[in-house]
A and B are shown apart, each in its own frame.
Chain A
Amino acid sequence: MSAAPGGAPVTGGAGAAGSGGRKSAAPVFEITGLSVDYGEGPGATHAVADVDLTLHRGEVLGLAGESGSGKSTLAYAATRLLRPPGVITGGDVFYCPDPDSPGRRINLVEAGPEEIQELRWSQISIVFQSAMHALNPVLTVEAQLMDALAAHWPDAPAARRRDRAAEMLSLVGINPDRMRSYPHELSGGMRQRVMIAMALLLDPQVVIMDEPTTALDVVTQREILQQITGLRDRLGFSVLFITHDFSLLVELADTIAVMYAGRLVETAPARELFRSPHHPYTLGLLGSFPSLHGEIRPLAGIPGSPPDLRNLPPGCAFHPRCPYAMPRCRSDLPRLTLAGGGRQRQVACWLHDGAEPPPELAGRREATTAAGARPAGGGRQGGQR
């Protein structure tokens, strides 16, 4: 694994990719076979098991799942930020810093502290869930923006760093005069914008967003999401967007990956996932959200509760709650396999391995009613239209 040349800042990585978020097939962040445990030895909890996930340049990849599905664990472990007792027990995470040399990659799992410290924030940054808790309460906004810059631009004069900080704040719609404020003096929405500005300070190529709008009210949520989309179009970075709220991913995501009990159960381009989910869990999730458009139907939800990660059922972890469970599901763990629709479409379900899937999971549903509107979900009432 080759390392980025020491000292030379890898500038303009994302910005140079051009305006308007040019998507390419080249992967920028590739997770292969990652497994993460909490604790050691026989009593360890397997929070993430053998996950393959690829983020392509300019892509917005949504990572969805319930609390405890392992999505946050995955993201933090991939960036080596997961705290003890979390341990990476297997797999690799490849980051490709230079769009023009796709062969040169850094394995974050094997890299040393200095390498990772250099990569952090300048190449890969994170927007955390709760800005109130993610910002240091005793430092001003300015201090927190400046120290990130100081750590990675040690030779730049202070004025230049301050200009950059002011520039990013303006970009997210905050008056740079507010730099001297403390976090508790700002509103929730403003704090989240500060977090976004801070994440984009060094023009990173990958931005991981961990439920960035969960702590906000619906109106502010919308504004922040629009902000994110606008910034992404403008600066061209790739996004890993983690959420338990499917509805956010409708307009935001290009591709969606669904996790359950520490494993990936389905990945698909966003439109296709909403139109025709392949995994019963995804179907259940889609049926759990009310739609503003389309016919009124009873909310379904998914019976049962998420499994205890210390006591996973044998075979497919979802089978106790799955309305389509077959005998095979109770004993054999389904593997993530291609399911038509190109390399982007994968599902881990025995329904799609030989057996004939029911119509609501086979992609033979009607098209959406209005552009961008949520498709009327099939729920458990069957796909009759």
Chain B
Amino acid sequence: MAADLPGLGSSAAQVIPPARRRFRRPSAKIIAGLGILAFFVLMAIIGPMAAPYDPSAIGPDMLAPPSAAHLLGTTQTGQDVLSQLLDGAGPTLIVGFAAGAIATALSVVVGVSAGYFGGVAEEGLSLLANIFLVIPALPLLVVLTGFLHSTSNLAIAIVIAVTGWAWGARVLRAQTLAVRRQDYVASARAAGERAWRIILLEILPNEVAIAATSFLFTVVVAILTDAYLIYLGLGPINTWSWGSMLYWVQNNEAFTSGAWWWYVPPGLCIALLGTGLALVNFGIDEFINPRLRAGGLSRRSVRRASKSHGLTLVLRPDGVRDDGTLTPVRARPAGTRR
């Protein structure tokens, strides 16, 4: 198919039928991203056990900079920052991934239904998704959590999911529409296959990559939103999480005291975790959209090619190419013909 040849202009929809997907060597981005993720998951699992102190234990050294006794220093009340960090990894990750999972489940149901069934269902579901998309999430969350007063992690996760599913639903609906137009879906429908079977076997497999991207993106947003809410005092501030650490920083107005060891680590961890997720997302993006890939050219060649836009790169060797499948190419003197 001409659409597969990356050098030619093509506007075919980016739908890759499952049978023709080939395994590509994962790029450096995915590897780096997964590495970061693995690191934090490990931290979440063994962190509480590895913590040198009880994170809530008050100590005598207040606002002490990093030292041998306290690798990341202490807080205003003498608590060990490192222990809080290690302890807090778990709740932060759990809420983030739980919210992401719930939101993605919602968006898959809504998005695929809207895309597949069309008609009134599509209009209604799209309207719902658009409303949730356009209403700003954090103010709504602030009002919800402010009124609801529940401070359990699960409640926070649910609430975040309820305000965060809309974007994924929209993307999945668009993708479902594109897949639905494909021949193999049309033939399945014509053959009388039942809707749920078609959705499960033909449509969903094509949406795994997009759903994965949406999931990872939602997790990043959920982690941030969770941190925001806790920071504002709207979440569980008495269980240790990276967000609650920052809440106590704010509460004690410690950031003007120069105690960077207290607030830099939690924020940095959130950012690194988010970056890891985003890198994996990048990798998936490149898989979905082949144009984002270099396509087999070395970086130097890509750079050379982009320097003179609109001109095909010429990599002519001097002399004969010793290649079994290719006829030897020689630079011909001008004017000679075969």
Chain A interface main SS type: mixed
Tell me if A133 and B9 are in contact (CB < 8 A).
Answer: yes
Indicate whether B26 reaches chain A with its CB closer than 8 angstroms. Answer: no
Q: Name the contact of A33 in the complex, choosing from B294, B312, B332 (C-beta under 8 A).
A: B332
Question: Which A residues between 69 and 97 are near B, CB-CB below 8 angstroms?
Answer: 72-73, 76-77, 80-92, 94
B-binding segment of A39-47, A167-175, A271-279: A39-47
Tell me if A38 and B6 are in contact (CB < 8 A).
Answer: yes
Tell me if B316 and A88 are in contact (CB < 8 A).
Answer: yes
Indicate whether A257 reaches chain B with its CB closer than 8 angstroms. Answer: no
Q: Known: A35-B329, A38-B295, A84-B305. Contact between A89 and B316, CB under 8 A?
A: yes
Contacts of B325 in A (CB 8 A): 46, 312, 314
* Cα separation A367 to B5 with both chains bound (whole Å): 40
Q: Known: A49-B327, A52-B337. Contact between A85 and B11, CB under 8 A?
A: no
Tell me if B312 and A88 are in contact (CB < 8 A).
Answer: yes
Tell me if A39 and B296 are in contact (CB < 8 A).
Answer: yes
Tell me if A76 and B11 are in contact (CB < 8 A).
Answer: no
Residue of A nearest to B304 (CB): A84
* Cα separation A76 to B5 with both chains bound (whole Å): 12
CB distance from B9 to the nearest CB of A (A): 7
Residue of A nearest to B327 (CB): A50
Contacts of A130 in B (CB 8 A): 11
CB distance from A141 to the nearest CB of B (A): 19
Q: Known: A38-B295, A40-B301. Contact between A81 and B312, CB under 8 A?
A: yes
Residue of B nearest to A94 (CB): B334
Indicate whether B317 reaches chain A with its CB closer than 8 angstroms. Answer: yes
Indicate whether B134 reaches chain A with its CB closer than 8 angstroms. Answer: no
Indicate whether B200 reaches chain A with its CB closer than 8 angstroms. Answer: no
Tell me if B312 and A91 are in contact (CB < 8 A).
Answer: no
Indicate whether A383 reaches chain B with its CB closer than 8 angstroms. Answer: no
Q: Name the contact of A86 in the complex, choosing from B7, B316, B329 (C-beta under 8 A).
A: B7
Indicate whether A336 reaches chain B with its CB closer than 8 angstroms. Answer: yes
Tell me if A87 and B2 are in contact (CB < 8 A).
Answer: no
Indicate whether A333 reaches chain B with its CB closer than 8 angstroms. Answer: yes
Tell me if B332 and A32 are in contact (CB < 8 A).
Answer: yes
* Cα separation A213 to B308 with both chains bound (whole Å): 31
Tell me if B8 and A73 are in contact (CB < 8 A).
Answer: yes
Q: Name the contact of A82 in the complex, choosing from B7, B302, B330, B331 (C-beta under 8 A).
A: B7
Question: Which A residues between 23 and 56 are near B, CB-CB below 8 angstroms?
Answer: 32-33, 35, 38-41, 43-44, 46-47, 49-50, 52, 54
CB distance from A198 to the nearest CB of B (A): 16
Question: Which B residues between 40 and 95 are near A, CB-CB below 8 angstroms?
Answer: none
Contacts of B317 in A (CB 8 A): 89-90
Indicate whether A157 reaches chain B with its CB closer than 8 angstroms. Answer: no
Question: Which B residues between 283 and 338 are near A, CB-CB below 8 angstroms?
Answer: 294-298, 301-302, 305-306, 308, 310-317, 321, 325-327, 329-332, 334, 336-338
Tell me if A83 and B329 are in contact (CB < 8 A).
Answer: no
Q: Count A/B pairs, Cβ under 8 Å.
A: 133
Tell me if A84 and B297 are in contact (CB < 8 A).
Answer: yes
Tell me if A72 and B313 are in contact (CB < 8 A).
Answer: no
Chain B interface main SS type: loop
CB distance from A195 to the nearest CB of B (A): 13
Q: Residue-by-residue, is B244-266 near A (CB-CB < 8 Å gives 1, otherwise 0)?
A: 00000000000000000000000
Indicate whether B143 reaches chain A with its CB closer than 8 angstroms. Answer: no
Tell me if B302 and A80 are in contact (CB < 8 A).
Answer: no
CB distance from B299 to the nearest CB of A (A): 11
CB distance from B148 to the nearest CB of A (A): 47
Indicate whether B190 reaches chain A with its CB closer than 8 angstroms. Answer: no
Residue of A nearest to B300 (CB): A40
**Which of B294, B308, B312, B326 has the most chain A CB atoms closer than 10 A to its own CB?**
B312
Q: Name the contact of B296 in the complex, choosing from A43, A47, A107 (C-beta under 8 A).
A: A43
Tell me if A52 and B338 are in contact (CB < 8 A).
Answer: yes
Tell me if B310 and A81 are in contact (CB < 8 A).
Answer: yes
Contacts of A44 in B (CB 8 A): 296
Indicate whether A113 reaches chain B with its CB closer than 8 angstroms. Answer: yes
Indicate whether B1 reaches chain A with its CB closer than 8 angstroms. Answer: yes
Q: Known: A39-B296, A44-B296, A46-B326. Contact between A67 and B1, CB under 8 A?
A: yes
Residue of B nearest to A45 (CB): B296
Tell me if A84 and B1 are in contact (CB < 8 A).
Answer: no
Q: Known: A38-B6, A91-B329. Contact between A86 and B1, CB under 8 A?
A: no
Tell me if B326 and A113 are in contact (CB < 8 A).
Answer: no
Tell me if B329 and A89 are in contact (CB < 8 A).
Answer: yes
Contacts of A85 in B (CB 8 A): 6-7, 294-297
CB distance from B335 to the nearest CB of A (A): 9
Question: Which B residues between 174 and 213 are near A, CB-CB below 8 angstroms?
Answer: none
Q: Name the contact of B5 in the complex, choosing from A35, A38, A88, A92 (C-beta under 8 A).
A: A38
Tell me if A92 and B302 are in contact (CB < 8 A).
Answer: no
Contacts of A77 in B (CB 8 A): 312
Indicate whether A68 reaches chain B with its CB closer than 8 angstroms. Answer: yes
Q: A73-B5, A84-B295 are in contact. List 12 more A-B contacts (CB 8 A).
A: A32-B336, A35-B329, A38-B295, A43-B296, A52-B337, A76-B8, A86-B7, A87-B312, A88-B316, A94-B334, A133-B11, A333-B327
30 A-B residue pairs with Cβ-Cβ distance under 8 Å, sorted by A, are: A33-B329, A35-B326, A38-B6, A40-B301, A40-B315, A41-B298, A43-B296, A44-B296, A46-B326, A49-B327, A50-B326, A68-B2, A72-B5, A73-B7, A82-B8, A84-B6, A84-B301, A85-B294, A85-B297, A87-B297, A88-B312, A88-B314, A89-B317, A90-B331, A109-B314, A113-B308, A128-B9, A134-B9, A312-B325, A335-B327
Nearest 9 pairs of A and B residues by beta carbon? A39-B296, A86-B7, A90-B329, A85-B295, A82-B312, A84-B305, A80-B312, A50-B327, A83-B7
